[in-house]
Amino acid sequence: MRIHQLLTLAALLLFAPTVWAFDTITFKDPTGDDKGPGTYTYPSHAVYEAGTFDIKEVEIEDKGDSVQFKVTVKQRIKDPWDSKSWTPPGQGFSLQFVQIYIDRDHKVGSGHTKTLPGINILFAPDEAWDKVVLISPQAVSRLKMETKMKAKEFAKDVVIPKKVRVSGKTFTVTVPKKDLGEPTRDWGFQVVMQSNEGYPDAADLLTRDVNEIEGEHRFGGGSDWDCDPHAIDILAGKATGDSSEKAAQYDALKYTCAGSDMSKAKLAVVPMIYKK
Ligand SMILES: [Ca+2]
Ligand SMILES: [Ca+2]
Ligand SMILES: [Ca+2]
């Protein structure tokens, strides 16, 4: 290439308009807030080690034909229930179940305001989710079957990655863009940390209950009715990891129960996080 061609190329690169490519988006979350609306406690069995459900960081990266999601928690990811021995075999971890809700258009009437069964939270009408990516230790076939049985109205928008990679404290999944759409920096995200429950309540999609009093395999500090958010940790505020985001989370997860009268209960409405 001749020098003038080089200079032309350099000028082109310099003055090329800024494209809002998606590239990578990173959300951070403070530690010590793995207690839902501020009151939740872990199940009492020893496998639920401190920090297991504490989100620290979520990174979303454009990989060309696919999008990669990385979720990092405070405690090293373990497989105390030997998921590879399940029928069908699981993904190499046991305890967590992460749901990544995505709003692609920020428009009233587009998407779902209700979450998947067993989470008990809502999104605002203009932040309704359009896709949800599941990070679960369950086999893809079981996730598909449970979704079909229990979440039929959402099934076409539930994205189940083929494989979950586990390394240290980080989960990584990759999802083809054909299942998700072409990401832009206008997209909103919310990440809900739950626990994988292989023997869930009849209507719940593989989620662990939150009760008033914790049990060996039940979270505590909530309600025995389905009015409390079954979310142990979420993103909040600007998702920079600032400690003020703890209070923002507890506030977002506020709820009202009215005993068995679910018509009087007020589910928590959680925010999507938009990061331009
Ligand atoms: Ca956290
Ligand atoms: Ca939407
Ligand atoms: Ca949080």
Domain 19-274 has CATH 1.25.10.10: no
pLDDT single digits (tens) 16-38: 555 456 899 999 999 999 999 99
Under DSSP, the state recorded for 223 is -
> Is the pLDDT at 52 greater than 70, yes or no?
yes
Q: Ligand 2 centroid to 128 CA: how many Å?
A: 4
Q: Ligand 3 centroid to 246 CA: how many Å?
A: 6
Q: What is the pLDDT of residue 22?
A: 83
What pairing do the DSSP bridges indicate for beta strands 55-62 and 66-73? antiparallel
Gap between the Cα atoms of 147 and 170, Å rounded? 25
Instruction: Determine contact, residues 252/271, Cβ cutoff 8 Å.
Output: yes
Question: Which ligand is nearest the CA of 274, by number?
Answer: 2
Whose CA is closest to 194, among 204, 211, 207? 207
Gap between the Cα atoms of 117 and 130, Å rounded? 16
Cβ neighbors of 247 (< 8 A, separation 6 or more) are none
Helices and strands, counts by H and E, the chain: 4, 12
Q: Ligand 1 centroid to 98 CA: how many Å?
A: 13
Question: Which ligand is nearest the CA of 102, by number?
Answer: 2
Write down the mean pLDDT value for the chain.
94
Under DSSP, the state recorded for 136 is -
Structure tokens at 40: 């939740």
Instruction: Collapse the DSSP code of 213 into the 3-class scheme (helix H, G, I; strand E, B; otherwise coil) and give the result.
Output: coil
Question: Which ligand is nearest the CA of 57, by number?
Answer: 1
**Beta-carbon neighbours within 5 Å of ion ligand 1:** 29, 33, 54-55, 233
pLDDT single digits (tens) 58-104: 999 999 999 999 999 999 999 999 999 999 999 999 999 999 999 99
Q: Ligand 2 centroid to 96 CA: how many Å?
A: 26
Q: Ligand 2 centroid to 177 CA: how many Å?
A: 17
> Is the pLDDT at 3 greater than 80, yes or no?
no
Give ∠ CA 228-268-53 in degrees, rounded to 5.
Answer: 65
Task: Output phi, psi for 104, to 5 deg.
Answer: -95, -10
**pTM for the full predicted model:** 0.93
